[in-house]
Amino acid sequence: MSAKKADANGGAALTRPENQGAAEKATRGTLKYVDDQFGSASFLKRSMDKVFPDHWSFMLGEIALYSFVILLLSGVYLTLFFHASQNVVQYNGSYQPLRGVQMTEAYASTLHISFDVRGGLLMRQIHHWAALIFVTSIVVHMFRVFFTGAFRKPRTINWHIGTILMILGILEGFAGYSLPDDLLSGTGLRIAYSVAESIPVVGTYVCYFLFGGNYPGQDIISRLFIIHVLLVPGILLALISAHMMILWHQKHTDFPGPGKTEDNVIGTKFYPGFFLKTNGFLFMVFGMITALAAFAQINPVWLYGPYNAGQVSAGSQPDWYILFLEGSLRMMPNWETHIWHHTISWNILIPGVILPGIMFNLLALYPNIEAWVTKDKAYHNLLDRPRDVPVRTGLGVMSLTFYMVLVAGGANDILASTFHWSLQATTWVLRVLLIALPPIAFKVTKRFCLGLQHHDEALLHHGVETGIIRRLPSGAYIEVEEPLPAKKAETLAKQIGYDPHHHGDGHAAIAAGDGHEPAPADGHTQTVTRPVGVLAKARTKLEDFWDEPREPVPDTQPHPEN
Amino acid sequence: MPPPRKRVGRRPTDDNPATVERASDQHILEQTAETEEEERFAELQVAALFLVGTAMLIFFIVAYFAISIRDNLGQYSNYALGGSLALALFAIGGGFIVWAKKLLPHEKAIQDRHDFHSPEAEEIEAENTFLAGVDDMGLGKHKILRRSLLGALGLFPLPLVIMLRDLGPLPHRSLLRTGWRAGVRLVDLDTRLPIKLGTVEIGGLVTVMPEGFTDVDEDALAPSMLIRFGPGQIMSKKEREWGVADHVVYSKICTHAGCPISLLEQQTHHLLCPCHQSTFDMVNDAKVIFGPAARPLPQLRIGLDSEGYFIAKGPYSQAVGPSFWERR
């Protein structure tokens, strides 16, 4: 404690203090021991001094990270008791209703964990809740990154890694959900098998190799187990490490604000402030998941019974992140082609393979597409507000709308029975909405964004309405408007992309995609040469669409000074 | 000078930033601290939270041994263990956060960002070094070297892929096999007993399997439905002829995604798949009338043996379950 700020003066020759207490001596000794071997002191110093910006939305990724830690811990515990085997045994555990029933060892050991291992049920529920929160927080974290443009250069590759993490998270969740071999998970596996089977030419081979024969085979549980506990978590761990190291190296983005520029970070130092807070947050996330596991029952597999190819429970819904696939399968028209003694079942291939393929690829490549359209090659460390980039925000809401209709489709039977609608009508309405709603969502969102921008510009130009009415010498009445406080105006100007030093000329500096360089006043990029080729023409068209100039704020009122 | 409270960790305020000190590229913009009284109170708060955490952890250990998981399906044990662990974690986490917010100096730091790309000279040097290496290796010059290398490296993954071959058998004929063959009796899936003519009520549906079924492989495609309709209700001539006295048997495995179908509407004779709501008209050759399924459910030809039990007259005449490439 005594030498806390000893190195504050940087250059001056530093010596270790004479009288060190035992604790200080031990700490310095350890640090020196490590430094002697790795030369780690300068890295350590830099890391501890690293500044992290503060905003609540930056904690979403932390939730994902910490729920992953919890998944690893609880998962290891579960593997100590789980038997990944499809050997049929007779259940003799303490859950009375299923005693004497033939079932696979996988299901029997899941019952054993739930009813005969103290704290086993808690661990199972912690693991399942953590999985849901893991995927959910990844998705919400992605919303934040998308709508604020945090994926722009230089963070594009990290967005790609993040997308892969999300997809792997979904696969990992599905694999884990299938392991207990209960009736519900067996139905999910059966559908997954059919989806793989629908792939032309190789489908049945993929299935036979994965399942070790025709469905259900004898191998899928033990193979899924090793995929679930070793292969995917290993890849997840490696990619999460890469994700974090890139974040660390590049420093976190931040929202515009007083004193904040593209070239600085303002916030809390990693050590001790951020370190203490984020560890506290780790415990809070763990606590929240444990509380859910204690009081909110999840996946009570004993109620479903063991898997049986001849049975299914009605109204069975998968975990939420699979629902969109379930919805696309349900909404798809029943197309199937028979040619040359072969069958292509579009009714599964399109909703189960092609559609998710397109969706995930678009999601992953969005930063590259946006950069290509806007010709934006600049670095971005300051975030956009969604309203300031209407086309991106519109596209995001449009995609979300499409996704949400798919999710609703995954619950069409529940919707129909809850509201007493006809199931067929519900499905047809959803089919129409899937096509019609997204473009409307785009238009409305863009309009909203432009309206909000308009409001901001009015605030900046005219200030706040005071409610004070004054009469001018000419006889006209005006309402006195008070300019925004300087700092607020500065933040707002930055957010909407005005260069504060060039007042007046500036819509659409942001539209040019770069807060740094001055943009052409009309918001259009001046193209000197005519674009050649279909792609180049399309690009110019898209760029015009992106950069559609903002309407200037009409100067309807005379200013009181005049 | 009592500093303003509740500023810690928040977004930068409107205060005038004043540089306090400079160390490396990071320095403190502003720094304030709580008064001593406030600090003492915060210290007590943090300590109290940590004590609650400790107490809850002890409670957890006691509950682990004291509360039986035989009671109420283990729910009491779950509430006690989960509740105490959650409270302990909340308390410890809360302690950390209060500690960070109230006992650390309130400071706002600023740090420069550096360009991510290297100076251009360095970039060019790296490119040059890399290309010079390519030159040194002669990859451009020695065509035969390049091609043979591509050949070797290109084939390298093949052994690894080929070794996956024994993961499972090849599909071929087994895609069509179901365990149904001529003369085999229909047995109830649950009771495993054969079914006699006249034991199923009109409008009744029994899930049937081939007699002697086991729980594996082809049996997953075998589940079928024996349905008895009222006289004259079956519209299709072929359907009537393949059945016996208004009893017909259809595959239970949906032709869409393979779920077992179960919901028969008595009035309309429509059969609904619970997974994706494909609907089949069961008195009309199980034709698809709604939903994503493309094909009718296959029908099994049935007859009666000498004792009056239902038997299959042969295997299914087409592949059962979802479509696949090899299906004709």
Q: Alpha helices, DSSP H only, in B99-186? A: 120-137, 143-155, 157-162
What does DSSP assign to residue B197? Answer: T
The C-alpha atoms of residue B188 and residue B199 are separated, in whole angstroms, by 12
Our CA-based measurement puts residue B117 at a distance from the nearest CA of chain A, in whole angstroms, of 9
Could you tell me if B24 and A48 are in contact, meaning their C-beta atoms sit under 8 angstroms apart? Answer: no
- Name, of A380-389, A391-400, B142-151, B220-229, the range with top average pLDDT: A391-400
The partner residue sitting opposite B326, judged by closest CB among A94, A308, A342, is A342
Q: What is the per-residue pLDDT for B216?
A: 59
- Chain A nearest-CA distance from B258, in A, is 6
Residue A561 has pLDDT above 60, yes or no: no
Question: What residues have CB less than 8 Å from A420, skipping those under 6 apart?
Answer: none
Distance between B287 CA and the closest CA of chain A, angstroms: 12
**B10 Cβ under 8 Å from any chain A Cβ:** yes
Give the β-pairing of B299-300 and A102-104.
Answer: unpaired
Contact call for residues B249 and B188 (beta carbons, < 8 A): no
Q: How far is CA A151 from CA A363, A439, A495, B259, in A?
A: 11, 24, 17, 41
Whole-number pLDDT of residue B6: 38
Domain-terminating residue out of B58, B89, B111: B111
Axis crossing angle, helix A423-462 with helix A323-331, rounded to the nearest 10: 120
The answer on B301 and B201 residing in a single domain is yes
Q: Cβ atoms within 10 A of the Cβ of A223, count? A: 18
In a domain, B281, yes or no: yes
Q: With a cut of 80, say whether residue A496 has pLDDT above it.
A: no
- Cα A188 to Cα A173: distance, rounded to the nearest angstrom: 12
pLDDT at B218: 60
* Cβ atoms B296, B280 nearer than 8 A: yes
E strand segments, A21-146? 51-52, 88-90, 102-104
Asked if the Cβ–Cβ distance from B108 to A345 is below 8 Å, we say no
Distance CA A30, CA A21 (A): 14
Q: How far is the C-alpha of A471 from the C-alpha of B186, rounded, in Å?
A: 97
Which helix (H) or strand (E) is B248 found in, with range?
Answer: strand B247-251
Place of tokens 């320095």: B27
Interface subset of A 209-248, CB within 8 angstroms of B? 209-219
Average pLDDT over residues A200-204: 89
Give the model's confidence band at B9: pLDDT under 50 very low, under 70 low, under 90 confident, else very high: very low
Do A209 and B167 lie within an 8 Å CB cutoff?
yes
Closest partner CB to A310 (pick from B79, B189, B218): B189
How high does pLDDT run on average in chain A? 86
Is residue B225 within a helix (H) or strand (E), and if so which, with residue range? strand B224-228
pLDDT-based confidence at residue B240 (cuts at 50, 70, 90): confident
* Residue B160 resides in a domain: no
Residue B263 lies in a domain: yes
Mean predicted confidence (pLDDT) in A84-112: 92
Which of A148-157, A264-273, A324-333, B170-179 has the weakest average pLDDT?
Answer: B170-179
Helix axes A355-374, A534-546, angle to 10 degrees: 80
Interface probe, candidates A312, A490, A492, A516, chain B, greatest B C-beta count within 10 A: A312
pLDDT cut 90: percent of chain A above it? 53
In which band, very low, low, confident or very high, does the pLDDT at B217 lie, cut at 50, 70 and 90? low
Query: CA of B188: which chain A residue's CA is closest?
Result: A310
Same structural domain, B184 and B307: yes
Check if A194 contacts B (Cβ < 8 Å). Answer: yes
Nearest CA in chain B to A186: B259
The predicted structure's pLDDT at residue A526 = 47
* Contact between residue A78 and residue A123 where contact means Cβ atoms under 8 Å apart: yes
> What does the alpha-carbon distance between residue B26 and residue A48 come to, in Å, rounded to a whole number?
11
Q: If pLDDT is split at 50, 70 and 90, which confidence band does A192 have?
A: very high
Q: Is the pLDDT of residue B13 over 80?
A: no
Average pLDDT for residues B279-293, to the nearest whole number?
A: 91
**Is position B116 within any domain?**
no
Query: Please, which pLDDT band fits residue A550 given cuts at 50, 70 and 90?
Result: low
- Among A217-231, A395-409, B160-174, the range scoring the smallest mean pLDDT is B160-174
Residues facing B146 on adjacent strands: none
ipTM entry: 0.85
On chain B, the residues whose CB falls within 8 A of the CB of A308 are: 189
Q: State yes or no: pLDDT of A3 exceeds 70.
A: no
Residue A514 has pLDDT above 80, yes or no: no
Q: Is the pLDDT of residue A31 over 90?
A: yes
Give the SS3 label for residue A155: coil
| In A449-543, beta strands by DSSP E | 464-471, 477-482
Q: Which of B112, B116, B165 sits opposite A379 (nearest CB)?
A: B116
Assess whether pLDDT exceeds 80 at residue A10: no
CB contact under 8 A, A204 and B324: yes
pLDDT over threshold 80, residue A524:
no
| Phi, psi for residue B267 in degrees, rounded to 5 | -75, -50
Residue A237's SS3 state is: helix
pLDDT-derived band at A544 (thresholds 50, 70, 90) equals confident
Name chain A contacts of B175, Cβ cutoff 8 Å.
204, 214
**DSSP secondary structure of A336-380:** -EEETTEEE-HHHHIIIIIHHHHHHHHHHHHHHHHHHHHT--S--
Residue B274 lies in a domain: yes
Q: Please state, in angstroms and as integers, the Cα–Cα distance from residue B259 to each residue in A309, A376, A469, B220, B294, following that order.
A: 8, 49, 72, 10, 14
Query: Measured between alpha carbons, how far is A106 from B210 in angstroms, rounded to an integer?
Result: 26
Per CB-CB distance under 8 Å, the chain B contacts of A118 are 64, 69, 77, 81
Residue A397 has pLDDT above 70, yes or no: yes
* For residue B16, pLDDT beyond 80: no
Which residue of chain A comes nearest to B99, CA vs CA? A276
Residues A382, A253 contacting (CB under 8 angstroms):
yes
Cα within 13 Å of Cα(B267), Cβ side: 0
Residue A511 has pLDDT above 60, yes or no: no
Of the residues A248, A334, A349, the best mutation for testing chain B's interface (the one with the most B CB atoms within 10 Å of its CB) is A334
- Whether B207 and B289 share a structural domain: yes
Q: Could you tell me which residues come within 8 angstroms of residue A166 by beta carbon, excluding any fewer than 6 positions away?
A: A135, A138, A139, A142
State residue B5's pLDDT score.
Answer: 41
Burial (CB count <10 Å: 0-12, 13-18, 19+), residue B157: exposed
CA distance A21 to A3: 11
Q: Which residue has the higher pLDDT, A248 or A465?
A: A248
Would an 8 Å CB–CB cutoff place A123 in contact with chain B? no
Pick among A85, A227, A276 to test the B interface (most B CBs inside 10 A): A276
Which residue segment(s) compose the domain that B299 sits in?
Answer: 175-312
Shared-domain flag, residues B186 and B273: yes
* Cβ within 8 Å, pair A330-B292: yes
pLDDT in tens, B40-77: 898 999 999 999 999 999 999 999 999 988 888 889 99
Mean pLDDT of B159-184: 86
Chain A from 494 to 553: CB within 8 A of any B CB = none
- What's the pLDDT tens digit per position in A304-314? 888 887 777 65
Q: Is A93 on the interface with B (CB under 8 A)?
A: no
B contact residues 63-122, partner A, Cβ 8 Å cutoff: 64, 69-70, 73-74, 77-79, 81-83, 85-90, 92-97, 99-101, 104, 107-113, 115-116
Q: Do B182 and B305 lie in a common domain?
A: yes
Does A318 or A279 have the greater pLDDT score? A279
Q: What is the CATH number of the domain that holds B249?
A: 2.102.10.10
Which residues from chain B sit within 8 angstroms of residue A187, using beta carbons?
259, 275
pLDDT(A507) > 50: no
- A441 CA to chain B: closest CA distance, Å? 27
Return residues 303-322 of B near A (CB < 8 Å): 321-322
Write down all domains in chain A, each with its CATH number in brackets.
56-325 (1.20.810.10)
Is the backbone of residue A495 left (phi > 0), alpha (psi -120 to 50) or beta?
alpha
Residue B8 forms part of a structural domain: no
Domain assignment of residue B21, yes or no = no
Tell me which H or E stretch contains B311. Answer: strand B310-312
CA dist A8 and A335 (Å) reads 72
Choosing from B83, B111, B139, the residue where a domain stops is B111
Tell me, yes or no, whether B204 and B287 share the same domain: yes
The reported pLDDT for the residue numbered B77 is 93
- Give contacts of B289 with chain A, Cβ < 8 Å: none
- Interface size, chain A vs chain B, as Cβ–Cβ contacts under 8 Å: 330
When mean pLDDT is compared across A540-549, B98-107, B296-305, the lowest value belongs to: A540-549
Closest CA to A557 of A470, A462, A488, A468: A462
Question: A69 in contact with B at a CB cutoff of 8 Å?
Answer: no
Q: How many domains does chain B have?
A: 2
In a domain? residue B273: yes
**Is the Cβ of B219 closer than 8 Å to some Cβ of chain A?**
yes
pLDDT tens-digit map of A124-181: 999 999 999 999 999 999 999 999 999 998 999 999 999 999 999 999 999 999 999 9
Of B9, B294, B325, Cβ closest to residue A342: B325
Residue A421 main-chain phi, psi, to 5 deg: -95, 160
On whether both B179 and B306 belong to a single domain, the answer is yes
Q: Which amino acid is at B155?
A: L
Domain boundary among B90, B111, B132: B111
Residue of A nearest to B214 (CA): A88
CB contact under 8 A, A281 and B97: yes
